[in-house]
Structure 1
Amino acid sequence: MNGPAHQAPLADADLLDIEVELFVRALKLRHGYDFSQYAPASLKRRILQLVQSQQTGTVSELTARLLHEPAFLAIALEGLSVPVSEMFRDPDVFRALREQVFPVLASYPQINIWQAGCAHGQEVYSLAILLEEAGLYERAQIYATDFNENALHHAQEGIYPAKEAQLWSRHYLAAGGSQSLADYYSARYELIKLDQRLRRHVIFANHNLVTDEVFCEAHLVLCRNVLIYFSDPLQDRTLALFRDSLVRGGFLCLGTRESLDFAPSATDFSAVNAALRIYRLGSRNPGTG
């Protein structure tokens, strides 16, 4: 009987792909977090950054830690998520929300807003400030969700580097802010702490867009610069989730590099501001109304 055929050694790139696949499988099987539908190139890049930051040398060493060190899960999730944001990021978007969306939301006695993928909370507080200045915050409830517990903790604290304040102030004014951003925070040492009154209608909660279902019945869903890290099937699933979460006539705001154009749920929405990725759910919504 002939023995097994000789197999040529794997190239380094092929070996790395195997290591990445095993890491992703271990994360799902050991801890229940499924990253298999994230965009491969972006996911691989973040895993390699995690290798570098943890000085493990190989992805396989990360996998071993993931399997045998319970405390390493939080470190891994922090490295794999993308909790990068700023207050009033893309100020034209916030101005459009204030001028084109808020007047419609004002017709509701109660306004539910879902900020999905809230990261460290800067956009949540930006939204709270503009709602406050529009006279809508007292009847608004913001649900801010993320799967990263560390990011949620940072968001709840509302403490950020003071060096960001000058840029954020310019963005605030460009977004239509009517006061001074400094009215909403206190500065100490090299940090700013946002006024806790901005949190009075915010609920921070863990929610995973990959595996979890409808979170709430919402009049506005914001999920900006999250879908760019998802594969096409996961993007479609997530957009359907947002559609089913919105009341009839509700609004969806995506990141400026994201679009509904090729999603199966696109026919359920009409563009309010196509350039700024703000959409409105039409009467054909099969979900809540």
Structure 2
Amino acid sequence: MTSSTLGARQLRYKAFQEFLSSATESFKSLCNNNPEANRFKAIYSLCTCPGGRQGGKNARQLEVFFGARPFDSQENFDSTARPSLKLLSERGATLEFVRDDLGRVHVFLYPAVSEGMKPIEDAIELKIVGDPADLAKGTVLSRHFRWLVAYMQCTCLEGAPTFRDRITVAKLRLLHRRSVDGRMWDSRISVAAREVIKWVFTVGLSGTLLAAIQWTASTHRPMAVVEVSAEPTDTRQQRADLIRLGEKTTERLEAVERSLGDIRTRLDAPLVTQPALPSSRPPAKKNATAN
């Protein structure tokens, strides 16, 4: 690695450390200028933790989050059937800044989570900031803080999201990468764009190319001339013989059909019964009775 590259990386490290040093005052000012953030601050409290919430020992991390608080209680019974009271708690949304080895800053947004409710996504990757010095700009930090408040409105129990908040969160879920069940997924818009491009370069492009080839062939090539040669004499004689044979066969079939019709008519006709003829032998004489 060259000295110039090493110097640029070290400058990014230094810019991130400066951002950590000024983060507490910056987010405090942003919260004071946002009425909804002040309302959540009164309920959950707003915490800015350079180094992370686990003791502030991670020099690569900054967490800005609305704290945890109990919102309900539930009576349970232990193994000895003795009643016990359990407090149900809720954790507010979190905005996290994490520096990688190259000095870039990954910005993540985590939803508010309660005992029985959480969004599908575990986190949304808002942006990868190439130069941490950009985080010192008021517009960049203000935009990230507005996203935190809108996400808090849409995911916490005390949220009252406006139409603008819902549109903002919908855009974040559509345009940015999301972590679901510990796996990072590409943004929905990029997945849809890849499917469209895949269709264009397979079905659409192949059809377009085929149509262009056919049009080019029909436009720039002369029409093929089909030469029809005279029919040979033997072929004409064979065709005539076949025609005569077919005619004779038809005549024979018609004669057979007529014969079958005559037979069918005779079979269907009623039978005629002739009367019996008189006998020519004279009648027998009766024997005379004795006197």
Q: What is the TM-score normalised by the length of structure 2?
A: 0.21
Q: Which has the larger radius of gyration?
A: 2
- Structure number with the bigger relative contact order (C-alpha 8 A, sep ≥ 6) is 1
Q: What is the TM-score normalised by the length of structure 1?
A: 0.21
